[in-house]
Each structure stands twice: as C-alpha cells, then as structure tokens.
Amino acid sequence: MLTRPVNKFLGVFLFACVLSIPFSLGFSKNGTARPGFIADSLLTTFQGSYIDTIPLLSAETEIDSIINVELSPETERITGSGVILEDIVIYSCLDSIDSYFTSQKVFLFGNADLKYQDIHLVADFIEIDFVKNELRATGLPDSMGIVRGLPVFKEGDQSFQAEEIRYNFETKKGRTLNVITEEADGFLHGEVVKIMPDKIVYIAEGKFTTCDKPHPHFHIGFRKAKVIPKDKIVTSFAFLKIYDVPTPLIVPFGFFPNRTGQASGIILPSYGEYRNRGFYLENGGFYWGINEYLDLSLKGSIYSRGGWGFDVGSRYNKRYKYNGSFSVATATTIIGEENLPGYEKSKDYRVMWSHNQDPKARPNSVFRASVNAGSSQMSRYSPISDNDYLSNTFSSNISYSATWSGKYNFSANLRHSQNTISKTVDLSLPEIAFSVNRFYPLRRKTVVGQYKWYENITMNYTLNARNQVNTLDSLLFRQETLNEFKNGISHSIPISHSTRVFKHFNFSNSINYNERWYFQSIEKRWDYDDLESYSVVRGDTIYGRLVTDTITGFKAGRDFYYNTSLSTKIYGLANFKRSGLRAIRHVVSPSVGFTYRPDFSTPFWGSYKTFDDPRFEQPQKYSIFEQGIYGSPPANQSGSINFAIGNNLEIKVRSKKDTVSGERKIALIDRFTIGSSYDLAKDSVNFSDLTMSGSTRLFGNFDITYGSSWTPYAVDSAGVSINKFLWETDKKLLHLKNTSWSLSFNYNLSSADFGGAPSGSQSSRDNQGISDPASNDGDTENSSMAVIQTSPNGNLNQHVIDYSIPWNLRFSYNFRFDTRNFMHTGVTNREYIQSLSFSGDIKLTSKWRIGFQSGYDFLRKELTYTSVDIYRDLHCWEMTFNWIPFGFRQSYNFTIRVKAAVLQDLKLSRRTHHLDRYN
C-alpha cells in the first residue's frame, strides 16, 4: 500500500480542487499530462504501483497561488527560473514515494522506475530534484547490510549498472561510480565515469574484459579511457591482469574497435618459427569493408628461408538475391636448405568460389557456382581442412538452369575435375543441355469421349552439347592445350507408346532416333614413305606406319533403333497366424523384349570408311567419329531378343514398437535380377553373357551388393568365345567369368541407446565456444578441431562406462571382393579392398570434451589418418589440443585463447608443423 504524509495530501487536495477546471484542459484523454502543463495524478500500473507526475514549479511560484497555465496546444515546455524540461517525467515504485513541494524533491523507494524521453532508470532508491533538474540513484542495504537494487541506467543504445548514478536532465551530463557496461563485444568497468551530452564517456581507473562475471577472471586495466559510442575505445597505457595478478604484458595505449557494422583495418599476422621454413609472419594484411553487401581481404605470409604466400578473398551477400565468397591463393613453399638433402620447392595456387542464388529471386531460373581448383600440391602443403588433405580429387561446377512454359528446360555447366595423384585435369567448357518434356503430338485440342490409341503416343526431345579436354595440370595453361579440346552436339528424339493388354501385361513400343554433330572427324591411311617404322607380320617385315589425320569440318552421324517389350508382375503371398512371422511376399517381375538396329557402317550412312593396311588381308573398316565425345553410330546389324526376371522378397513380423498395426516389414532381397539376350542377326555366338545382379539392406545399416556374369560358350586358346556350348565340351551349362561382392556397414552407438543422456545437440556444442579453426590466423594444423564443433569425436573407456555421460561412437566398414576367371588358362585373379574407419567423442563434464578419428587399412595393414582432439571450456577462455600422432601430417597444436573475437590475438600457442619433420 502506497502511503504519503496526511498533512501534505490535505494541502495538495485543496489546491487541486481550486484548479480542477482549468487543469482539466491540460490532460490528454488517456490521463497522461501533456508536456508544458502542470499535472498531478495517480495512475495505477499493471504491477499495482502508481505513476506520479509532479507539477513543474518555478522558484517564484507560491504553493497556494494560482499558477498561470499556457493553454496553447503547441506548448512544448514549461519555463521558469532555472527550470527547463521538454517532456514529462514518469516514475513509479513498489514501496513509497516521498514528495516535498518546498524543496521540489521526490524520493522513490523500492524497485523505483523512472522514464524521461529515451532515458530509463531502475534502482531501489531514486532522488529527483526538480530545481536542479537532477536525479540520483543508488541501491539500498537489506537487513544483512548487503546493498541490493543497484541502479541500471539506459539511454538510447547505451546501458550500464553502477553503485551510484547522478544525471542532469538539462545538461544531459552524468556521473557514475563503479559502473559496468557492455561495449565492443566485452564489458567495461570504471570506478568513476562521466557521461557527456554527445554521449562520449570518460572513465577513470577502469578495465576492459570479455568475461561476464562481476569480478572478471582477467582484464586489461588502464588509468584513463575515452569511449566514443559505435566507434572506438581509446585508453592510456594498459596492462593485462589474470585473476588480479599483473602480467608483463604492457602496452603504451589500448585501442578497441566498437563498431557494430563492417570496419576496415589491418589484420595482424601471427608470428613464430618453423624448423624447415624459418621465422615467419603468417596471414597478415588488410580487411576492407567496401559496403554492406561486399568486403575484401588481402593477406600474405613470408618466411625467412624464401617461402611466401598471398591470398585475396571476398564475400558478398544481397538479401533475397544471392550470396557467396571468392578467394585466390598462391604460395611458394620452400623446405630445408638449398643444395642439401631434403630440399623441396613448390609453386602452387588455388581458386575457390561459392555462389548461391535465393530461390525467391528468380523462381524459373537458378545460377550456382562451386569452384575448387588448384595445383595438386596445394592440399599437401597448405590444406584448409582434414577432408581437403585426405581427398585426392578436386571438382568444380558453375551452372545455370531455366524452365519456361512448363515444358522447356535449359541448363549450362562449366565443369572441372582434377586428380591430385595422377595430376590429370578434365574440363568441360561448356556443357549445355536443352530438353522438351514429354508431350502428345497427335492428341486433339478438344477431346470428346476416350482417347484413340494413337493419341497416347508420346514424344520428347533432348539436346546435349559439350566441349571438353583432358590434360595434365602442368600443361593446363599452354597454347597447345587449346587445340586438344573435343566437342560435339547430340540430339535424341524418342517416340513411344504404352498400353495394357490382357489386363495384367504392359506392352510398350518405342522408336529412338539419335544424331551426333561433330566439327572434327578423322581419316586413317598407311604411310609407306616412313621407312624408319616397321612391323613383322607372319615372318614378313612391313615398313611404314598407321597415320590418323584430323579433318576440320562439320559432319553428322545418325542411328535409330526399334524396341518392344512385354512385362508383368506376379505376386506370391503366404500368411502365418500363430507365429512371430506373419507373412512372406515374393514379387517376380518377368519381362521379354525385342530390339532391332540396322547396320550403320554401310557407305549409305557415311559414318564409316575403309583403308588398306598391309598387315591385314582385308581392308580395315573404321568410324570417322572414333574420337567423338558422343561416340559413333553402331556398326553391324542387331536383332536381339532380351529377357529378364526381377525378384523382390519381403517378410512381415510382429513388432512391439509399432503401436498401430503391431507389425513390421523387413526386406530380405530388395532387388535380384537375372538377364540375357539372343541376337538373331549374328551368324554365331548368338547368346550374350548371363548377368546376375542384386542388392539388399539388412538391419537398417548393412548394405550388400552382388554382381556376376556367366558364359554358356567355350573359348579358344586366346580366351575368345567360340561357337560351341560348354555342354558340348565340358558338360557344363555355364562358366563364371567374373563376380563382385560389395559390403558396407555403418553403425552409430551413443549413450542415448543405453538410456543415458544424448551426446548433445549442435546448439549445445556451439555454446562451448569452439571457434572455426579455419579462421584462427590461418592455423591449418588445428583444423581437425572443427570435428568437435560440427561432428564431435571423442574417446571411450572400454572398461568403465558411465552411461549418463554423453558419448557416441561411429563405425564404418567397407569390403569389396572381385574375381575374374580366365577359362583358357585356368587362372583366377582375386582382388579385394577392405577398410574400417571409426570416430567418437565423450563429454567428460560440461567443460571437458575428448574426440578422436582413425581407421584401419586391411590391405596395407596399417592405421589410416588419426587425430585426437581435446577441448576445455575455461568460461571466458578456452583450451584446445590437437594431436596427429603419425603419418605425413604428424604434429600437435596446443592453444589457450580468449573466446571473444575482439581479443582473438590474446592467446598462448605451442605447436609443431608437419613440414618441420622433413629435412
């Protein structure tokens, strides 16, 4: 209950009654006093407290006199001797309000709240002096003598807490004691702080820290400082203290950027010494925030033994339009001393570009880019991540696609693929595709009744064009590489019709027309004038050589074929009522078809020619499109009857987990197909190899793939099939030519599987404060710590496991077994690839996390790339330790650093570089 002295209220009450009529003109409809009017009212707030507006009285006004009131609605302020306020002052409290009209002061007790323009003040005690236009706010001691309810002051974007606050409404100057405010992504402490009208702040005996504790774990102390809001903080000489213990780290002045947007400036380099590359300055340069959509960074590295590196990077982002990043890096790596064993020198480069278009920008067209290209040694000497080091391929794609009218599609791609082991590069510049979706050319525009059979005939069109080259990365930018590009255009027009016959059979017919356009063709001839080349054939020496000439000019090759097929599905089902096995379903999908293709090697089609080769008795036939990227029209007539039988096997079992049906389906065989064909156009060896293929997934994470081929024919001494069945020679129906098995097993195991705590969501890991190692001053040796943030890895104690501790393990096993049987020699070649990879993490406490990743190569009988990561959260600091115990990248990196980016250079690092191990 809010109380006031009764005698004061009697005087105010009589005074209000006399002035009630003229004063009523000075209030707005909601009961709040207009600026410039004298008002006194009690307004109930939602907290049950009261809002009290006090009459603004000049020093010459008597308390019992009638005050002159300006009734003009344009009035902005009340003026008196030394009193100027441009707005009303609204205040409230939960305990009591004491008002003294003689001194024109108001005292607020208990969770007091005051608002004036953009000023908001909360404290346990507030004193308002309307003569001096000042206020003072402090906390109040409780019964134990502990001061509580310290004032919190907010003006615009500025806010802080202090032991005492004094503020003048007229001059807008303030003075505070023992203040704590948040500035520059950190916290600013000051014993005495002065606030100026332009919001510039002066601090005496202060400290800056990124620790949010009232008594911070560390701070940078200073005697004086000046804070320019949204710009910078400048201090006198500054010194670092950790747990109030001074350190030798002293600087003549302190500078802390305090801008919320982009800020251009110098990027300080990291420094140190590598054993094989000398002293270094790494990743120093300049950052330029060009505008709110674009920035640019220039960074360089230099080493005392002659190595250097330079990197240009840029990011861009246009909301609802597009975003991306671009970087170009070049480096010269020198290891060891020249003319000494172990000396290496490598010049490398890398280009990276990522571009993404917002789907809302252009709904019918999309432009994307993902470029990662460079020299083959760049990922060895300067990897940007673990995956970058472990991968032996680079790939890039710049694509544009568009769709219009609902049936036309266009796409253009610039593709790049690079192998760092073979050092080969494949480029497709460009690769274009245009297609028309399936349509019905014979359908009527106005349909009456059912469609005629011919109205279900469909047609579509596809065009593909490509210009490509395959070369070594060292030859990529040479002039002769441009002459090695191969190009061509392919057209395809399929016409098809499908209908159902005898209720259960699907009958399909199609005619496919293909045409290839090339701008280069070949011509073969035997050069008899080359007497330096010769070959021996059947004891005779033949001089000369085969010459293949490239002919420039447009050429077209055409082919077509007809296909018909009949297919159906046969279902077999067995139900069981009294067992855990409820049902078995077997689906058989038989199909038979016929395909006819003419002989396109005849002179009529113009795709094949012949030449005389003295090594052979007959003229040799060849395709003029042998080197074409879309191949050649097929030679020889073909009329094949093909058949296939597909199988699918599923069971249904009881399941307690399924609360709806109480049953669960399990696929035993996803797919198992047997197929072959018989070519009517051949004069011998008409049957093709019998092929078997299948795949299935067991237990949700165990994949099995199988494939094999079988021949029904015998072979000669050279291993070529002859026109005799195996049954005639060996009394066998089939002979296994080759087989392939592939097994893949992936399994995740975590504490949640045992009823313990889950291993942690991404957000919980983010709260640990692990920074992106790729941005830590170019410290690529610490890149595996990213595994802790994005897919945490950890260790597992095999002997004592506390399942309440979040942990997880991941296993991946791959096995491939291939055999090839040579029937004419009786030799069988067997090849297998077997590998195991595993990783995991364990969160020992809320502050400790340990992770690892490794694997085993069964062929080489050795462990694969292995790393151990340890992370410790030190509240405002963090500790990371990355250890690669063996291999080419054997090294370690130990770092203790401040989490906040504003003090990212405040750290202690001890590390070794993997290149230092090689002399």
**Tens digit of pLDDT for each residue in 190-213?**
999 998 988 888 999 999 899 988
The pLDDT assigned to 829 comes to 86
Report phi then psi at 133, rounded to 5: 55, 45
Mean pLDDT along residues 806-819: 88
Q: Provide the residue type at 782 as one letter.
A: N
Highest mean pLDDT among 21-30, 175-184, 803-812: 175-184
The pLDDT assigned to 285 comes to 93
Q: What is the DSSP letter of 790?
A: H
Q: Is the pLDDT of residue 358 over 50?
A: yes
Mean pLDDT along residues 432-439: 95
More confident of the two residues 908 and 67: 908
Q: Are the beta carbons of 162 and 190 closer than 8 angstroms?
A: no
Cβ neighbours of 511 (radius 10 Å): 14
**Residue from 141, 176, 145 nearest 159 by CA:** 176
Which residues, 6 or more positions from 910, have their beta carbon under 8 angstroms from its beta carbon? 893, 894, 895
DSSP count for the chain of H helices, then E strands: 8, 58
**Residue from 465, 342, 449, 370 nearest 410 by CA:** 465
The pLDDT assigned to 755 comes to 62
Q: How far apart are CA 82 and CA 899, in angstroms?
A: 51
The pLDDT assigned to 689 comes to 92
**Tens digit of pLDDT for each residue in 96-124?**
888 888 888 889 999 999 888 888 999 99
Beta strand residue intervals within 304-343, DSSP E: 308-318, 322-335
Mean pLDDT along residues 903-912: 82
Q: How far apart are CA 79 and CA 35, in angstroms?
A: 11
Q: How far apart are CA 746 and CA 748, in angstroms?
A: 7
More confident of the two residues 323 and 835: 323
Between strands 891-898 and 907-911, the pairing is antiparallel
Q: How far apart are CA 462 and CA 434, in angstroms?
A: 6
More confident of the two residues 406 and 571: 571
Mean pLDDT along residues 479-508: 90
The pLDDT assigned to 790 comes to 30
Q: How far apart are CA 743 and CA 731, in angstroms?
A: 34
Report phi then psi at 204, rounded to 5: -120, 135
Q: How far apart are CA 137 and CA 153, in angstroms?
A: 9
Average pLDDT of the residues of the chain? 80
Token pair 């020093």 is found at 59
Mean pLDDT along residues 155-171: 84
Q: Are the beta carbons of 117 and 87 closer than 8 angstroms?
A: yes
**Tens digit of pLDDT for each residue in 876-890?**
999 999 998 888 778
Cα dist. 100→19, 90, 591 in Å? 20, 17, 103
Which residues, 6 or more positions from 165, have their beta carbon under 8 angstroms from its beta carbon? 121, 123, 135, 136, 137, 138, 151, 153, 174, 175, 176
- Predicted confidence band at 779 (pLDDT cuts at 50, 70, 90)? very low
Q: Is the pLDDT of residue 232 over 50?
A: yes
Token pair 């000051």 is found at 190
**Residue from 774, 820, 464 nearest 630 by CA:** 464
Q: Which residues pair with 596 in a beta bridge?
A: 562, 639
Mean pLDDT along residues 362-377: 86
- Plot region of 700 (φ>0 → left; ψ -120 to 50 → alpha; else → beta): left
Token pair 């057209």 is found at 491
Q: Is the pLDDT of residue 47 over 50?
A: no
Cβ neighbours of 796 (radius 10 Å): 15
Q: Are the beta carbons of 837 and 854 closer than 8 angstroms?
A: yes
Asked if the bond preceding 257 is cis, omega within 30° of 0, the reply is no
- For 298-322, b where at least 16 C-beta lie within 10 A, e where not — what string? ebbbbbeeebebbbebbebeeeeeb
The pLDDT assigned to 601 comes to 92
Mean pLDDT along residues 813-829: 84
Mean pLDDT along residues 488-499: 95
Q: How far apart are CA 427 and CA 66, in angstroms?
A: 94
- Plot region of 589 (φ>0 → left; ψ -120 to 50 → alpha; else → beta): beta
**Tens digit of pLDDT for each residue in 550-565?**
899 999 999 999 999 9
**Residue from 446, 470, 450 nearest 629 by CA:** 470
The pLDDT assigned to 48 comes to 34
- Predicted confidence band at 386 (pLDDT cuts at 50, 70, 90)? low
Q: Is the pLDDT of residue 380 over 70?
A: no
Range from 410-424, 731-745, 754-768 carrying the lowest mean pLDDT: 754-768
Residue spans of the domains in the chain: they are 1-140, 278-391, 746-917
Cα dist. 385→350, 382, 617, 773 in Å? 14, 9, 61, 9
The pLDDT assigned to 756 comes to 58
Residue 562 has, within 13 A of its CA and on its CB side, a CA count of 5
Tokens of 173: 């100057």
Range from 496-500, 579-583, 628-632 carrying the lowest mean pLDDT: 579-583
The pLDDT assigned to 830 comes to 85
Q: What is the DSSP letter of 11?
A: H
The pLDDT assigned to 429 comes to 86
The pLDDT assigned to 272 comes to 84
The pLDDT assigned to 50 comes to 38
Q: In a 3-state reduction of DSSP, which class is residue 684?
A: coil
Q: In a 3-state reduction of DSSP, which class is residue 577?
A: coil
Q: How far apart are CA 119 and CA 113, in angstroms?
A: 11
Mean pLDDT along residues 748-775: 50
